[in-house]
């Protein structure tokens, strides 16, 4: 179902005269890795190497591997550009997935009954069809708005797990949002950032569901409990990611300094992957603050034996923001 754009990939390799390329795919696209690599090998004289490390987003570019392997081009599938890659040209293949718009709109209408206006959002796989969805909804009497793209979400209506700016840049008020895509990861972030109801239209299985309020309440209680527990900590580990698009060393240093001003012993911990087994071996900190992907603390890592806060939650801990100023607003940073 993905548009793999193999001809564009081959043309780009030819244009650049690339002799060696590194192919990077997110987990969900790895079943296509050998197929893509084989196509490139047959269609070009280029040597193809597949990156086997984690790939959580375009924030997680294999640029270090690309430099180590001296490749001429990094081919990154599944995401749009997030940050410029240091030291290597990158070809992004968004891997669009066409959806059946009329069918999806029919399915979604009962779940938004009574809504006069909705905000439309999706991942880069479906953003090219958001205007078509908006037109179909407008014809059915629902005003559908799409926020402008900018920065790390350059496409109109595009959201990432850490950025819902397009959802907050709508040209008008809405009663709630429709997220087009699979899973609950993006809808949850949308609710945390906008505080509005979210309907999930899954184009893969045709299902439509509403993000459960009780799920949000449970999460709010858990996050508040973590912040409360961390307030008594006298030693805190501040996690800094080595991933190109997640590295926030300067912010982490400022945070550690502010903790120090409050007589909290804080040290930076630099790491590529935030894993519970690794963190649990650090027995001195009573809490962790992670300055990498905000979703790691919220729903990305299980089994950490002490509270782990996002950078936004750390501001609540430090008294710079209130809980009410972040929950349902700027919760993801």
Shortest Å, Cβ 146 to ligand SF4: 20
Instruction: Tell which one of 293, 298, 304, 308 touches ligand SF4 (CB under 6 A).
Output: 293
Rounded Cα distance between 325 and 319, Å, is 11
Distances (CA, A) of 54 to 30, 51, 259: 11, 8, 31
Q: Of 57 and 147, which CB lies nearer to ligand SF4 in the complex structure?
A: 57
Shortest Å, Cβ 58 to ligand SF4: 6
Q: Of 160 and 312, which CB lies nearer to ligand SF4 in the complex structure?
A: 160
Q: Of 76 and 295, which CB lies nearer to ligand SF4 in the complex structure?
A: 295
Query: By CB under 6 A, what part of segment 198-257 binds ligand SF4?
Result: 245-246
Instruction: Tell which one of 295, 311, 315, 317 touches ligand SF4 (CB under 6 A).
Output: 295
In sign, the C-alpha dihedral spanning 68, 3, 163, 310 is negative
Give the largest Cα separation in the chain, rounded.
62
Per-residue b or e along 83-120, where b marks 16 or more CB atoms closer than 10 Å to that residue's CB: eebeebebbbbbbbbebebeebbebbbebbeebebbbb
Shortest Å, Cβ 114 to ligand SF4: 32
Shortest Å, Cβ 330 to ligand SF4: 15
Q: Of 59 and 188, which CB lies nearer to ligand SF4 in the complex structure?
A: 59
Q: How far is CA 66 from the centre of its chain?
A: 22
Query: By CB under 6 A, what part of segment 29-68 binds ligand SF4?
Result: 56-57, 59
Query: By CB under 6 A, what part of segment 107-166 binds ligand SF4?
Result: 160-162
Shortest Å, Cβ 293 to ligand SF4: 3
Rounded Cα distance between 87 and 66, Å, is 8
Binding mask 159-178 toward ligand SF4 (x if CB under 6 A, else -) reads -xxx----------------
CB 129 within 8 A of CB 187: no
- Give helix 185-194 / helix 213-230 axis angle, nearest 10°: 70
Distances (CA, A) of 298 to 29, 162, 232, 282, 303: 24, 11, 20, 20, 12
Residue 182 binds ligand SF4 (CB under 6 A): no
Shortest Å, Cβ 295 to ligand SF4: 5
Rounded Cα distance between 99 and 204, Å, is 8
Shortest Å, Cβ 60 to ligand SF4: 6
Residue 188 binds ligand SF4 (CB under 6 A): no
Sites of contact with ligand SF4 (CB under 6 A): 56-57, 59, 160-162, 245-246, 293, 295
């Amino acid at each position: 179902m993905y548009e793999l754009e193999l001809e564009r990939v081959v043309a780009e390799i030819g244009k650049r005269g690339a002799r060696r390329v590194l192919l990077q795919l997110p987990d969900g696209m790895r079943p296509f890795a050998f197929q893509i690599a084989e196509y490139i090998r047959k269609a070009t004289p280029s040597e193809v190497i597949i990156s086997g490390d984690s790939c959580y987003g375009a924030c997680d570019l294999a640029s270090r591997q690309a430099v180590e392997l001296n490749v001429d081009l990094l081919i990154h599938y599944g995401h749009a550009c997030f940050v410029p890659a240091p030291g290597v040209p990158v070809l992004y293949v968004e891997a669009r997935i066409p959806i059946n718009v009329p069918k999806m709109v029919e399915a979604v209408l009962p779940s938004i009954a009574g809504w006069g206006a909705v905000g439309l959002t999706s991942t880069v796989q479906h953003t090219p069809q958001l205007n078509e969805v908006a037109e179909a909804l407008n014809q059915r009497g629902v005003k559908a708005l799409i926020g402008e793209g900018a920065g790390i979400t350059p496409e109109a209506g595009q959201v990432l797990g850490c950025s819902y700016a397009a959802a907050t840049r709508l040209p008008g008020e809405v009663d709630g949002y429709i997220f087009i895509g699979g899973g609950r990861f993006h809808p949850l972030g949308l609710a945390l950032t906008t505080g509005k109801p979210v309907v999930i239209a899954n184009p893969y299985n045709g299902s439509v569901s509403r993000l459960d309020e009780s799920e949000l309440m449970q999460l709010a209680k858990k996050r508040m409990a973590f912040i409360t527990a961390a307030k008594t900590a006298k030693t805190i580990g501040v996690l800094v990611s080595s991933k190109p698009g997640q590295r926030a060393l300067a912010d982490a240093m400022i945070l550690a300094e502010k903790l120090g001003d409050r007589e909290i012993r804080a040290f930076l911990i630099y790491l590529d992957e935030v894993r519970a087994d690794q963190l649990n071996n650090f027995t001195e900190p009573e809490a962790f603050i992670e300055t990498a992907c905000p979703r790691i603390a919220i729903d990305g890592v299980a089994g950490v034996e002490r509270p782990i806060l996002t950078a936004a939650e750390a501001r609540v801990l430090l008294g710079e923001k209130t809980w009410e100023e972040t929950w349902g607003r700027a919760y993801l940073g």
